[in-house]
Copies of this chain bind each other. A is one copy, B any other.
Amino acid sequence: MTSQEKSPGTAHRGPALRGGFLLAQVGAYASMRFAERLEGLGLTPSDVGLLRMIAVNPGQSQQTLAQALRVVPSRVVSLIDDLQAKGLVTRERSSSDRRTYELRLSPVGVEAMEKMREIGSAHENDMMMGLSTEERTTLTALLAKLAASHALAPDVHPGYGSRS
């Protein structure tokens, strides 16, 4: 009903091809919108992921983090540098192995996590706006199933680097 000129481009390609593209398209859009919301907080999506990893597993070393995120250790350095400069994360030399740091959220970091949760909630509502409650549940379940079938780690966004 919308094709006025000769332009195809709207309704070509069968369902066999659309799913992968839609996944990438909607996913990139979701990331973009989330990043926009975070700007107000002075954080990037990477920061958020990192903070969550630290919150979930306090005392972790940078190496451990690098492996979990599938990122090069030097990348973690600058990421944590930022977070520390913002006062969200503390680095403390481990007493058992003084080569490593123990990473923890500062009180400010804990507050930031709370704000992030609110932002995440608003983002979720905004993203899902067009779907009914039941549809949201279905979509989330299907996405979770897909994530599981590809062995995607529950909390790791594969967008920290290009390292496989």
Interface of A is mostly: helix
Q: Is the CB of A159 within 8 A of B28?
A: yes
Q: Which residues of B contact A108 (CB under 8 A)?
A: none
Q: A16-B124, A124-B17, A147-B26 are in contact. Are A138 and B142 (CB under 8 A)?
A: yes
A123 — nearest CB in chain B belongs to which residue? B20
A27 — nearest CB in chain B belongs to which residue? B27
Inter-chain CA distance A154–B10, complex, in Å, is 6
Q: Is the CB of A146 within 8 A of B15?
A: no
Counting CB contacts under 8 A, is A99 at the interface? no
Q: Is the CB of B142 within 8 A of A139?
A: yes
Q: Is the CB of B146 within 8 A of A28?
A: no
Inter-chain CA distance A18–B138, complex, in Å, is 12
Q: Which residues in A have some Cβ–Cβ distance to B below 8 Å? A: 7-10, 12, 15-32, 34, 45, 56-57, 117, 120-121, 123-124, 127-131, 135-140, 142-150, 152, 154-159
The 7 closest A-B pairs by CB, nearest first: A27-B27, A130-B149, A22-B143, A9-B56, A23-B30, A24-B31, A19-B140
